[in-house]
Amino acid sequence: MAATKTTFTRDAGLQSRMLLTMFLLGALYVAFVGVLFAAGVQGFMILLIAGGFAALQFFTSDKLALHAMGAREVTPQEAPELHSMIERLCIQADLPKPKIAVAYTEMPNAFAIGKSQKSATVCATTGIMKMLSPAELEGVMAHELAHIKNRDVMIMTIASFFASVAAMILQFGFLFGGGHGDDDDGPGFLVILLASLVVYVLSFLLMMALSRYREFSADRGAALTTGRPSALASALRKIASGMDRLPQQDLRAANEMSAFFIASPKKVVAGLFATHPPMEKRIEQLMRLEGELQTGTLAAA
Amino acid sequence: MGFLDAIMGGKKKLKAPPAADKLFAMSTAYVTLSASHGIETKGVAAIVFQPLATADFEAIVAEMEELLAGTGADTGTTISTSEDSHGYRWIILHDDDIEDLVVGVNAVSDALMVGGYGDRVLAAVFAFKDSKGKRVYFIYNYKRGHWYPFVPASGTQARDGERELQVKAMIGTELPIEPELERWFPLWGIPI
């Protein structure tokens, strides 16, 4: 039966790199929690407070993100083309329909937010809708739907939890830790501070790597949904050249959320510190998929 | 989609397509629709899919169209194709016998699946009219193996939700109806 034949094969290399990154991140965090507990009451308290903050952030981030981008939900009557395009992609990706929002800015970008598949929102800027052809825009929207399908908001929130704990401890430590003349903080606090520093630096690097892998996954997912890897590649090229020409002021509000954008709004950042893989690498991957399609090796296999 | 798939950045292939007998349920369900509720076939159905710009894909489509034309000589089914504004291709089948339509639609999806392109199929659409002459569509979602009614209303992307639910109640359990109402995706610009 033809049930196992599909348009694309899996990318085992990407999956194993992603798994290794998640394993390292997990191991790092387990060690960190160990240190916090060994340090006694202080460490435990910090963990609790940070947990509260993270939960608060998790439950309010959607509205904040939309608001920061100046985005507004649009009805099918206001944006019929966008709605019907996404409805069809949802059938193809087997997803419930997300809310659809539009941000009124010239910056060409798109992003997806939402804690679950059912509460997700995808947002496109007016800039990207003007810049791209329908097929290219479809590729970008399929990329955002792939983020929703892969639950990337949830995964990056969990991945960043202990990193933000470490960051809090560092800030807290520098503000108050050195302030007291007497030494009643004891050596325990110093250990926590040092451990936090290590965790902060390492987890930051690992999270950036994880985020890049998830971008590759979402590109792949988009190609799978639309069957048109080249359309997304072409969109990425247009976005990349378009963003270089735009003023930086537009990007202020965007930095915080860059993980879920179609393209990172930041300027060129060295490889290790980037949330998004370089455009050339992403386009290269998409062209590889297009090559697989064109030679028909997969369908004949 | 399981937990592990989500962690690993998504399934790299879609799940196996649902059994074809869910599509064929239309031939028996139509007896009820027509006899008890005055919903008659308009003698036309269509299957919509994403065309790939590759030689292999076009060869499979051409071969399948040839096959349909061949069987059409016996059954009286005629076919035509069109592309819509979203870049999807529709293969439209005309035949007054709904069973021939179901068989024809299944032949198209089957050819694509055997060729390895089953995940390109978006949906099958069957067109009906009720006793007042109003359009009623039944849409078959291949990914989920479920049917749902779709009744467009006048106005931009407006649909008659009440009528859709009435039609669902009429059909009862004779068709595998999509249980989640939010998955009753409309299809705009249906060419039949």
Structure tokens at B20: 């074809």
Least confident window among A1-10, B139-148, B162-171, B174-183: A1-10
Share of chain A above pLDDT 90, in %: 30
Query: DSSP class of residue A11?
Result: -
Sequence-separated (6 or more) residues with CB below 8 Å from residue A151: A116, A117, B6
Q: Is B6 within 8 Å of A151 when comparing Cβ atoms?
A: yes
Catalytic positions of A: 144
Residue A256 has pLDDT above 80, yes or no: no
> CB-side exposure of A215: number of CA atoms within 13 Å?
26
Q: What is the pLDDT of residue A270?
A: 46
Enumerate the β-bridge partners of residue A111: A123, A261
Mean pLDDT of B123-150: 95
Average pLDDT over residues A106-121: 86
Q: pLDDT-based confidence at A177, cuts 50/70/90?
A: low
> Is the pLDDT at A261 greater than 60, yes or no?
yes
Q: What is the pLDDT, as a whole number, of residue A60?
A: 73
Q: Which of B12, B122, B157 sits opposite A11 (nearest CB)?
A: B12
Q: Which two tokens stand for residue A244?
A: 């270089």
Minimal C-alpha gap between B129 and chain A (Å): 24
Q: What pLDDT is recorded for position A2?
A: 35
**How large is the angle between the packed helices A229-245 and A186-226, nearest 10 degrees?**
120
Pick the more confident residue, A170 or B187. B187
Residues from chain A that touch B119, judged by Cβ atoms under 8 A, are 6-7, 92, 224
pLDDT class of A248 with cuts at 50, 70, 90: very low
Average pLDDT estimate for B18-47:
90
**Per-residue pLDDT at A47 exceeds 50:** yes
Mean pLDDT on A257-264: 58
Among the ranges given (A38-52, A275-289, B61-75), the one the predictor scored with the smallest mean pLDDT: A38-52
Q: In chain A, which ranges are E strands?
A: 71-73, 99-103, 110-113, 121-125
The tens digit of pLDDT for each residue in A118-145 reads: 889 999 999 999 999 999 999 999 999 9
Contacts of B55 in chain A (CB under 8 A): 294, 296
For A294, nearest residue in chain B (alpha carbons): B54
Q: How far apart are CA A127 and CA A250, in angstroms?
A: 12
Residues B11-17: what's their mean pLDDT?
50
Within 8 A by CB and 6+ apart from B143, the residues are A91, A92, A94, B14, B17
Q: What pLDDT score was predicted for residue A6?
A: 52
Cα B136 from Cα A35, distance rounded (Å)? 65
Residue to substitute from A88, A157, A293, interface B, most B β-carbons within 10 A = A88
Mean pLDDT of chain A: 78
- Cα Dmax for chain A: 77
pLDDT of residue A181: 43
What is the DSSP secondary structure assignment for residue A268, as one 8-state letter?
-
| Residue range A216-244, pLDDT digits in tens | 999 999 998 999 999 999 999 998 887 65
Name the residue with tokens 């539009």: A102
Residue A1 has pLDDT above 50, yes or no: no
Characterize the bridge pairing of strands B89-94 and B78-83: antiparallel
Read off the tokens for A28.
Answer: 């790092």
pLDDT average, residue stretch A68-93: 92
A·B CB contacts under 8 A: 140
Contact in structure between A16 and B24 (CB atoms under 8 Å): no
The residue among A159 and B98 whose pLDDT is bigger is B98
Q: Which residues pair with A287 in a beta bridge?
A: none
Could you tell me which of A150, A91, A161, A242 has the C-alpha nearest to residue B121?
Answer: A91
- Distance from the Cα of residue A127 to its chain's centroid: 21
Q: What is the pLDDT of residue A186?
A: 57
pLDDT tier at A300 (50, 70, 90 boundaries)? very low
Enter the tokens of residue B39. Answer: 């919903």
Compute the distance between CA of residue B129 and CA of residue B137 in angstroms, rounded to an integer. Answer: 8
Partners of B81 in beta bridges:
B91
CA neighbours closer than 13 Å in the CB half-sphere of residue A242? 19
| Res B38 pLDDT > 80 | yes
Q: Which of A92, A95, A292, A295 to mutate to test the interface with B (most CBs of B within 10 A)?
A: A92
How confident is the model at residue A184, as a pLDDT?
52
Which of the four pLDDT bands, split at 50, 70 and 90, describes residue B147? very high
Least Cα separation, residue B100 to chain A (angstroms): 23
Are B9 and A85 inside 8 Å of each other by CB? no
Using a CB-CB cut-off of 8 Å, the residues of chain A touching B155 are 77
What integer pLDDT is reported at residue B152 of this predicted model? 95
Higher pLDDT, A59 or A23: A23
Instruction: Please give the torsion angle defined by the CA atoms of residues B52, B58, B64 and B65, in that order, rounded to the nearest 10 degrees.
Output: 100
Are A80 and B115 a contacting pair at CB < 8 A?
Answer: no
Gap between the Cα atoms of A31 and A36, Å rounded: 9
What is the DSSP secondary structure assignment for residue A3, as one 8-state letter?
A: G
pLDDT band at A179 (very low <50, low <70, confident <90, very high): very low
pLDDT at A110 over 70: yes
- Average pLDDT in the A28-49 region? 76
Report yes or no: B50 and A227 within 8 Å, Cβ to Cβ. yes
